[in-house]
Structure 1
């Protein structure tokens, strides 16, 4: 993540430098022609002096080349930014579901770097309890589709509450700031409601879940890893 921020800073600084160069070049071009056309004597001397005319022509060609190369730099900068975004997306987002993977979640976890920042955080962990059954009866492709559908629902339900992610395998996490029992229960109600609607349309491959959550107002963990472990243990107890 730190490398990603460094790359973004580099792109921003490089783009600003190129914009300044472009502005300076355009200003020089405009000033050149203003001076030339506002000074008839200089203009007449320029056209009558082949050496001076040649030097000016070389200068114009050079400035035109600089402009072309600057435009090419802008094009390459755009490609670099797009490739950098794609690489970081691949690094921090789960390939199958598109939600943050464990690396992406680690970035979120690292923001809770003190007991004070964790004071009112809630951690929700969920698994698809019938995933193994779907894999065995309908195949792994059907299982992957089930995971994708669930994560789409999970993200939609959890987006307004906090940060969702795939913790790895068949474990999915939601982190909520300023969380209480009522807020967590509100999220669970939304999630279960959307799953109920989904299962009406997918009777042969419904989604069943098992979940648990821990509020740090009750757990009093000093690090997010402790809160995550407590949630994991509660889920698999």
Structure 2
């Protein structure tokens, strides 16, 4: 019984407290407050659509709506408030003085408002300090409540912004990944023909930055590997060749799979000696892997066409010269390098 009685007593007290808090935060003046403010305020008529003040404009007066309505627009995506008769606004301008307005105030209909400045407010205090003290308490609570709402809105906006940035990061990452997929050979990870074309465009956009040497590499008897050991073994051979080319190329060079079992290596900085060394390295690495192969081949012999590049030429000219040298290497039995006849040095 005692517990039940205590509960019945507490609930009305809690309800009274909540009602009192709602009254404090509410922006409508009581009858007594409105009568007091009317005694000292000056009437100001407004036409529908007329602005009382603009956001960020300094002000030192507060207003009470007598008739009509006022719309407070805080800008951006904040909630627009519409106030009616006996509601007040702009009180911070009165209490602080020259306070930047936080919203645009516009009459929604033909309206009449009371305007009070600091001198008017002082007369209010002298006339009824108790009523004004209650009004100030309610004003402070209202400001705190509005600030809490604003903080929640800003936090939500910040969260939305962080989400948007995260989505932008993911999208950028996906676009970058897609771009790499477009220019990259899926099996070997080397550049494909599109990647090679983009690389050549980038080189031509920087004057004097064209590649200087080209190796055209083709697998010998690759069809036999596929026929005898299957396409998985063929894929493994192509991946091994790609790894060898990748180990030769530096950051400025480009190793590419042109298609099938044909590869190329473009060297940005090269002379006859460095091209000879690169081709011999590839042949040596291939021979080394072949010596370690058991029943399943990990690599197959390659033929290499070598040429120095004329920076004034284009890819079709370079390819034709290297391809002719590659053909000669194949005709001589493969598993060797051969220089283009137009090369300045033919070792």
TM-score for both structures, normalised by structure 1:
0.72
Any residues of structure 2 matched to 1:27-42 within 5 Å, and which?
A: none
Alpha-carbon distance in 2 for matches of 1:59, 1:70: 16
Structure with more strand by fraction: 2
Specify which of 190, 193, 204 is matched with residue 284 of structure 2.
193
Match of 2:302 in 1: 209
Specify which of 141, 144, 154 is matched with residue 232 of structure 2.
141
**Residues 136-179 of structure 1, C-alpha deviations (whole Å, 9 max, x = no match):** 10111211111112111221123377211111222111111232
Specify which of 151, 155, 160 is matched with residue 69 of structure 1.
160
Alpha-carbon distance in 2 for matches of 1:221, 1:230: 14
Q: How many residues align?
A: 191
CA contact (8 A) 2:204 2:210 kept: no
SS of the residue corresponding to residue 217 of structure 2 reads: strand
Kindly tell me: are residues 161 and 188 of structure 1, through their superposed partners in 2, closer, same or farther at Cα, counting changes over 3 Å?
A: farther
Alpha-carbon distance in 2 for matches of 1:215, 1:91: 29
CA contact (8 A) 1:120 1:180 kept: no
RMSD: 2.6
**Residues 99-155 of structure 1, C-alpha deviations (whole Å, 9 max, x = no match):** 1111000012224539x7477711110011121110010111211111112111221
Alpha-carbon distance in 2 for matches of 1:46, 1:109: 74
Runs of 4+ aligned residues of structure 1 deviating over 3 Å after TM superposition are 45-48, 111-114, 116-120
Structure with more helix by fraction: 1
Q: Report 1 or 2 for greater relative contact order, CA contacts < 8 Å, sequence distance ≥ 6.
A: 1
**Residues 62-106 of structure 1, C-alpha deviations (whole Å, 9 max, x = no match):** 111111112112211221122112211110100000111110000
CA contact (8 A) 1:118 1:223 kept: no
Match of 1:169 in 2: 260
Q: Gaps spanning 5+ residues in structure 1: where?
A: 1-38, 40-44
Kindly tell me: are residues 136 and 47 of structure 1, through their superposed partners in 2, closer, same or farther at Cα, counting changes over 3 Å?
A: farther
Q: Gaps spanning 5+ residues in structure 2: where?
A: 1-95, 97-135, 329-347
Alpha-carbon distance in 2 for matches of 1:163, 1:190: 16
Specify which of 188, 197, 206 is matched with residue 106 of structure 1.
197
SS of the residue corresponding to residue 204 of structure 2 reads: coil
Match of 1:182 in 2: 273
- More off after superposition, 52-61 vs 202-211: 202-211
Any residues of structure 2 matched to 1:122-137 within 5 Å, and which?
A: 122-137=213-228
Shift of 1:224: 2.6
**Residues 40-73 of structure 1, C-alpha deviations (whole Å, 9 max, x = no match):** xxxxx78862322221111111111111112112
Specify which of 315, 321, 331 is matched with residue 224 of structure 1.
315
Q: Which has the larger radius of gyration?
A: 2
- More off after superposition, 202-211 vs 134-143: 202-211
